[in-house]
């Protein structure tokens, strides 16, 4: 597994064998305040990594994400990630839902903004998401 990013907020890895891009938010994200530009930069990085690594699968583990996406960012994030998934021909994308209710709601609203032909499936359990991707 290749580590693309690993800091106090987020870990991004790419499993070359599975062709899986995996993002994993960290608990520290509950204790930071990010600007809109910083949130866009992080999500653009994820989108760029999806494309650059020619990923077949995308797993967004957001159980520990504490950052709430404001309404004006939701559409932008949804489009950037959906377009990256389309460009990389992602076969399946799984999102493990945040535990925090408000963050979870902002997550659902973000993905509901997607107009692309990408299926983002939601899971409350990591093992279910993994099973969905790799059965």
CB-based contacts of 37: which residues, under 8 Å, 6+ apart?
none
Is residue 29 predicted with pLDDT exceeding 70? yes
- pTM for the predicted model, two decimal places: 0.86
Tokens representing residue 90 in the block: 């992602």
Domain spanning 2-134: which CATH class is it, in words? alpha beta
Is residue 57 predicted with pLDDT exceeding 80? yes
> What confidence score (pLDDT) does residue 70 get?
83
- String of DSSP letters for 7-21: SSSEEEEEETTTTEE
Domain ranges within the chain, ordered by starting residue: 2-134
Q: pLDDT digits over 4-20, tens only?
A: 999 999 999 999 999 99
């Amino acid at each position: 597994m290749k580590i693309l990013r690993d800091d106090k907020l987020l870990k991004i890895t790419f499993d070359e064998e599975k062709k899986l891009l995996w993002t994993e938010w960290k608990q520290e994200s509950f204790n930071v305040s990010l600007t809109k530009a910083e949130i866009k930069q992080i999500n653009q990085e994820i989108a760029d990594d999806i494309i650059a690594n020619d990923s077949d699968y995308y797993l967004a583990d957001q159980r520990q994400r504490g950052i709430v996406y404001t309404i004006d960012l939701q559409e932008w994030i949804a489009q950037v990630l959906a377009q990256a998934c389309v460009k990389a021909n992602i076969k399946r994308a799984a999102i493990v839902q945040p535990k925090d209710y408000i963050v979870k709601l902002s997550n659902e609203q973000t993905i509901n903004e997607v107009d692309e032909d990408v299926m983002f499936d939601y899971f409350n359990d990591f093992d279910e998401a993994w099973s969905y991707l790799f059965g």
